[in-house]
Chains A and B, each alone.
Chain A
Amino acid sequence: MNGMPDLSALSWVHRAEILLVVGALVLLAFAPRLDRSRLAPMLIGLVTAGGAIACGLQTTGAERMGLVVGSVAVVFGLLLLSSAELFDRHQTPEAAALLLIGGIGGVVLVTGQSLLELALGTEMISLVGAALVALGQGQRPLEAGFKYFVLTAVTFATLLFGMGLIFVATGSLAVPALGAVAEGVRPLATVGVALFAIGLAFKLAVFPVHFGALDAYTAGPSSFVGSIMVLSKLGAAAALVKLASGAGEALQFPLMIVGLVTIVFAVLASFAQDDLRRLMAYSAVAHAGFLALGVGSGVAGGTAVAFYVVGYGAAALLAFACLAGTGTGPLPLSSLRPGGSLQLGPARAAGLIVALLSLAGVPPLPGFWTKLAVLKACFGAWGTLATTTAALGGVLGIIYYLRPLPDLLAQAKETKGQGTVDAVVAVGAAVAVVVVLSFLPNLAWDLAR
């Protein structure tokens, strides 16, 4: 009986997870003392997330990618903490703790090997997402958080049911290899895998399980939405890649179809939007379609998906960092609806333009390289028709990404509440990441492999 656990036997992933849990617990335990301070919750969170990044750099492969990208997403949320539109200003420690827990969820989804771990990670991100969205100011975030919660609960139950079916068929909670499952119970396992994938697809926000995420990203506080979005997509994509590599075509085919439908749907539906926040939410759905398409494209798709998450994550974090502090109400574009109220100031408007162009896939921004990678993988797996559909859908999306441009270019020089120092750091860092990845996409590709 050794009293002290042997720390050296722990993997770096586990150390990072423990670190994040401890950070979250400290924040929650001392919340009543920390809530007057503007900096303390953020700093505690940053130290913890920084530690997690450091742990991540010790690892390799998917673990490295998951830890680094997940922790970076948490860091951005923390940096924007002070400009978040909270229902109660004193809830920053709780929000910081939730972000850290969300980070654990993402990491668990990326590194987890058994279905139970994946379920746990999904649930962590779901609850954190719903709570963070609902922490926002006013009725809209509450409504969005509630809807997100109800829908996530249902898809999570579906996921659990799928897990149960798989367990009945295989007798193990490991990610099933459908080919090795006996003929008689294979349909059971196949349906199980599909239902499990539905739960993960909700995190990815693909059609038709995008409703919750769409509303959450529309009405949640922008400071957190970027982080939640990136963590969800990172975790869900990684988990789906694992699931699909075991399930083969039985899952890859539906994912390809769902991905294409999502891309086309999101592009078309977003043409009718005149609210910038809603546009960004639809953009998240469209990109989920590309991720699903990548997951559905076999082995080559796996790397492409990881690459896509990095490139997309950078641009999405930048976009929401620029929107942080603009309230939780709609942001109608005056070029489309008279009386629009977009007030960002030129600096943040410029940052948002860079983010939008990257999301639109304009070369040489990272969004372009990642889209190419997924299309390449899709072409290798599914041929010309699927690739052409995806390419057309993806490229037509440029129309709605450029819709806010006239408004953004018309931003007046001086606006009040330009944002705090931390928010400026967040925007600057995100711009730097996007620009570096534009010209050296190799860096992201190496991280993704």
Chain B
Amino acid sequence: MTNEILVVVAAAFVFACGAMGVVYRKNPVAVLMSVELMINAAILLLILGSRIHGNAEGQAAGLLVLVLGAAEAVVGLALALAVFRSRSRVDVDEPKEIAG
């Protein structure tokens, strides 16, 4: 089991890196990339599960998740473009008109 535990720990590490990136990076593209990192950690787990349990369900799910992540990135980039087109600074903390 040790190898599997290592992979789980690795996935958790990747996920944590993504989470840190999401929290601390200010560039919208970097934030989106960090999100992708988090999603990749999830895919890693799915593949690992597939390996442990010897079924293809996890691999299929991994592929689907990959597609979901891509779709999300498309929408995200479009939104980021629309938001930051009219702003001089590209910083996710910058738009803060809605508050309180």
Is B57 interfacial (CB 8 A cutoff)?
A: yes
Asked if B75 and A130 sit within 8 Å, CB to CB, the answer is: yes
Find A143's partner among B8, B44, B98 (CB 8 Å cutoff).
Answer: B98
Find B97's partner among A139, A150, A157, A161 (CB 8 Å cutoff).
Answer: A139
How distant is A7 from chain B, measured CB to nearest CB, in Å? 25
Task: From known contacts A146-B80, A168-B52, infer whether A123 and B68 are also in contact, taking CB-CB under 8 Å.
Answer: yes
Find B49's partner among A120, A142, A171 (CB 8 Å cutoff).
Answer: A171
Is B6 interfacial (CB 8 A cutoff)?
A: no
Is A291 interfacial (CB 8 A cutoff)?
A: no
Determine the chain B residues whose CB is within 8 A of the CB of A158 once the complex forms: 38
Binding site of A, secondary structure by majority: helix, strand, loop or mixed?
Answer: helix
Chain B, 57-81, CB within 8 A of any chain A CB? 57-58, 61, 64-65, 68, 71-72, 75-76, 79-80
Find B65's partner among A127, A146, A160 (CB 8 Å cutoff).
Answer: A160
Asked if B68 and A119 sit within 8 Å, CB to CB, the answer is: yes
Determine the chain A residues whose CB is within 8 A of the CB of B75 once the complex forms: 127, 130-131, 149
* 0/1 interface trace, chain A 151-165, chain B, CB 8 Å (1 if under): 001101110110111
Task: Count contacts on B: residues with CB < 8 A to the other chain.
Answer: 46
Asked if A149 and B79 sit within 8 Å, CB to CB, the answer is: yes
* 0/1 interface trace, chain B 6-49, chain A, CB 8 Å (1 if under): 00100100010011001000001001100100110111111011
Most B CB within 10 A of own CB, among A116, A164, A188: A164
Is A219 interfacial (CB 8 A cutoff)?
A: yes
Most B CB within 10 A of own CB, among A143, A160, A173, A272: A160
Asked if B76 and A150 sit within 8 Å, CB to CB, the answer is: yes
Task: Count contacts on A: residues with CB < 8 A to the other chain.
Answer: 41
Is A99 interfacial (CB 8 A cutoff)?
A: no
Find B41's partner among A143, A150, A161 (CB 8 Å cutoff).
Answer: A161
Question: CA–CA, A278 to B61, complex, Å?
Answer: 39
Is A17 interfacial (CB 8 A cutoff)?
A: no
How distant is B87 from chain A, measured CB to nearest CB, in Å? 9
Task: From known contacts A130-B79, A150-B31, A219-B98, infer whether A164 and B41 are also in contact, taking CB-CB under 8 Å.
Answer: yes
Determine the chain A residues whose CB is within 8 A of the CB of B50 once the complex forms: 167
* 0/1 interface trace, chain A 194-231, chain B, CB 8 Å (1 if under): 00000000000000000000010011000000000000
Task: From known contacts A116-B61, A171-B49, infer whether A163 and B42 are also in contact, taking CB-CB under 8 Å.
Answer: yes
Other A-B contacts than A154-B19, A158-B38, A172-B53, 6 sampled, CB-CB below 8 A, are A140-B98, A143-B83, A156-B39, A167-B57, A167-B58, A215-B98
Residues of B within 8 A of A (CB): 4, 8, 11, 15, 18-19, 22, 28, 31-32, 35, 38-39, 41-46, 48-50, 52-53, 55, 57-58, 61, 64-65, 68, 71-72, 75-76, 79-80, 82-83, 86, 92, 95-98, 100
Residues of A within 8 A of B (CB): 116, 119-120, 123, 127, 130-131, 134, 139-140, 142-147, 149-150, 153-154, 156-158, 160-161, 163-165, 167-168, 171-173, 188, 215, 218-219, 272-273, 275, 278
Q: Can you give 30 contacting A-B residue pairs, CB < 8 Å?
A: A119-B68, A123-B68, A134-B82, A140-B97, A143-B98, A146-B82, A147-B98, A149-B79, A150-B22, A150-B35, A150-B92, A153-B72, A154-B19, A154-B38, A156-B39, A157-B38, A160-B42, A160-B43, A160-B65, A161-B11, A161-B41, A161-B42, A163-B61, A164-B45, A164-B46, A167-B45, A168-B4, A168-B45, A171-B55, A215-B98
